Amino acid sequence: MKVIKRLPESELEIMQIIWKETAPVSRLLIEERLQQEHPLAPTTILTLLTRLCEKSFLEMKKEGRTNYYYPVITEKEYLASESRSFLDRLFQGSVANFAVALNDGGVKKEELEELRQLLEKGEI
């Protein structure tokens, strides 16, 4: 698995918008989606998009006066990397230790059953 850096919340929020949309995604569409949740100045959004390009999460192509963004890292790749990092940091890389913590942490019986079924099916 390739090493993917963890994103700060503001950059992750932009990536989540881009992952939900069909590429390419315009800066204007990203601004519109952000205004619904966390209004940010257009210059701030542009700075965050520039950082994501520098970190190789996005590629930008300019068409006329509009910037379009394409994800380089998929949501699935990012989630896999974050999950592994989480397990390594908090549970010494052990899924078993994580499962014990879930069980001790008040996870509902139905959720544990759902997890067991997914494991049996080989879906995770």
Q: Where are the domains of the chain?
A: 9-71, 75-121
Q: What is the DSSP letter of 22?
A: P
Residue range 9-71 forms a domain whose CATH class is mainly alpha
pLDDT tens for each residue of 31-84? 999 988 888 899 999 999 999 999 999 999 999 999 999 999 999 999 999 988
What was the pLDDT predicted at 73? 96
11 contacts 48 by C-beta, under 8 angstroms: yes
How far apart are the C-alpha atoms of 1 and 81, rounded to whole Å? 8
Strand 66-71 versus strand 25-26 pairing type: antiparallel
Report how far residue 68's alpha carbon sits from residue 30's, in angstroms, rounded to the nearest whole number: 10
Residue 124 banded pLDDT, cuts 50, 70, 90: low
Q: What's the pTM? A: 0.81
The rounded distance, in Å, linking the Cα atoms of 98 and 93 is 9
Low-confidence winner among 63-77, 79-93, 95-109 (lowest mean pLDDT): 95-109
Q: What is the DSSP code (8-state) at residue 85?
A: H
